[in-house]
Amino acid sequence: MRRRMDWIFPAWKDLIRMQNLTMTRNSNNVLIGMSGGVDSTAAALLLTQKGYHVTGLFLDVLGNQTEETEAARALAERLGIDFISKNIAVEFDSRIIRYFCDAFAGGLTPNPCVLCNPTIKFRILAETADEVGAFWIATGHYARVVYDSDDDIYYINKAKAVSKDQSYMLYRLPQSILARIRFPLGELTSKEEVRQLVRTYKVGNEEKKDSQEICFVKNGDYADFIQQRGYHPSPGDFIDANGTILGRHKGIVHYTVGQRKGLGMTFGKPMFVIAIDQEKNTVTLGDDDALFRQYVKGQDHVFTGHETEGVAFPSNIKGQGIQAKIRYAAKPADAIIKEIDSRELTVQFKEPQRAPTPGQSMVFYSGERLLGGAIIKGE
């Protein structure tokens, strides 16, 4: 697994970037990440309507996205905005794809977007904005940024379109980014409102479907992708909670906590993946009831406004009533951070949560305000 500081900008870079750009906040130049989809298109349109001079940036993360690059370029022309593309495949491969494969091979279920946002996407947006003389950066994420003058901290709030909210994916962004970001879609109330905006301008992609998969795994078959990358997991044992062998599994990259389908065996009753042990190469199976946890441990935690090395968490967070999500699609659940130090924390939920999955993020809120998050640890 990667070192803690791989997840965030070093503090000195935060300070230098903020100092260099403080005087340019009144600039109307904005660099927006463009995927060619409806959301980034709508965000670019909204920024143009507000008088910004918009430049689109397409990031080729695979090094072979010529068709996607040219589609984004043509879209920028129809929108009447400038356009830049960058091939970042080498860095993306070494920092994101390799992390993804290593984590799965280690029995975890990673969320690569959580790592990519601070270390790749938003960092490169900020660096490229500096190159073209833009202070502001933007994306088509559904979220909002607010400045709290009492705390002197920029926070992320949930989007008004609650069902589309993407704040969960953004909890590791540092202050140097939040001070510059624009999320135009955060104020809209539905995806249909976004599509209608794009239809009005007739740019041609208003009915394009949302991407549902990880961008570098096109068919959704993670195990196949990992094996194509040269990882060859060994078969091992399915066991129950007592260690009794129930059968053989195909290799731990094929499984995730909470999984029922695709086990390759029948057991006479529904069985679920309860735990994965990479060292012993075992997959523990059990009833659905065995998936529920009231206490969940996390590591590599960050809290908004407290990204500086050595200041891992705000002093008043322990014991505070919060809401926490243990996966992107989960509903926020009432919880308390019971124990916390610089290495890990323990969260107690009011009601037990189903299948907290090692490698996924546990993200903390106070109402609509994003507080921070952590990577879920195994037991």
Please tell me the total count of domains within the chain: 3
Same domain, 277 and 196: no
| 173 and 239 fall within a common domain | no
Residue 287 confidence (pLDDT) = 97
Q: How far is CA 323 from CA 115, 163, 236, 313, 350, in A?
A: 22, 17, 38, 17, 10
Length of the chain: 379
Instruction: Dig out the tokens for 322 from the structure.
Output: 């919060």
pLDDT classification of 15: cutoffs 50, 70, 90 = very low
111 and 145 fall within a common domain: yes
Is residue 220 situated within a structural domain? Answer: no
Asked if the structure places residue 114 within a domain, the reply is yes
What pLDDT, on the 0 to 100 scale, is given for residue 7? Answer: 42
Decide if 151 is inside a domain. yes
CA nearest to 134, candidates 46, 21, 43, 214: 21
The CATH code of the domain that includes 189 is 3.40.50.620
Mean pLDDT, residues 337-365 taken together: 95
Percent above pLDDT 90 for the chain: 79
Residues with active-site annotation = 116, 215
Q: What percent of the chain has pLDDT over 70?
A: 90
Q: What per-residue confidence (pLDDT) applies to 25?
A: 62
Clarify whether residues 136 and 254 are in a common domain: no
Domain termination residue (choose one: 256, 286, 316): 286
Is 70 exceeded by the pLDDT of residue 203?
Answer: yes
User: Once rounded to an integer, what is the mean pLDDT over residues 249-275?
Assistant: 95
113 inside domain: yes
Indicate the pTM of the whole model: 0.90
Residues 33 and 145 in one domain: yes
pLDDT of residue 80: 95
Instruction: Read off the CATH number of the domain in which 329 is found.
Output: 2.40.30.10
More confident residue, 202 or 49: 49
In terms of domains, do 173 and 56 share one?
Answer: yes
Segment 77-94 shows an average pLDDT of: 97
Q: For residues 83 and 118, state if they share a domain.
A: yes
pLDDT for 206: 72
- Type of residue numbered 44: A
Q: Are residues 76 and 158 in the same domain?
A: yes
In a domain, 123, yes or no: yes
Q: Which residues pair with 83 in a beta bridge?
A: 56
Q: Which of 183, 201, 219 is the last residue of a domain?
A: 201
Residue 209 lies in a domain: no
Whether residue 212 lies inside any domain: the answer is: no
Query: For position 6, what pLDDT does the model report?
Result: 43
The SS3 assignment for 364 reads strand
pLDDT surpassing 80 at residue 307? no
Give the CATH number for residue 263: 2.30.30.280
CA distance 292 to 274: 9
Region 345-363: mean pLDDT is: 97
> Each residue of 121-155: pLDDT tens digit?
999 999 999 999 999 999 999 999 999 999 899 99
Same domain, 15 and 127: yes
Mean pLDDT of 6-34: 60
217 occurs within a structural domain: no
Mean of pLDDT values over 357-376: 97
CA torsion 366-110-236-242 (nearest 10°) is -10
Same domain, 271 and 301: no
Extended strands (E) in the chain: 29-33, 53-60, 82-87, 136-138, 143-148, 153-158, 181-182, 236-239, 245-249, 272-277, 282-286, 292-303, 321-325, 333-340, 344-354, 361-366, 369-376
Cross-strand pairs, 144 = 157
What range defines the domain where residue 15 resides? 4-201
pLDDT at residue 205, as a whole number? 75
Average pLDDT over residues 341-354: 94
If asked whether residues 257 and 175 sit together in one domain, one would say no
Q: Which of 201, 219, 249 is the endpoint of a domain?
A: 201
In terms of domains, do 58 and 145 share one? yes
In this predicted model, which residue has the larger pLDDT, 143 or 266?
Answer: 143
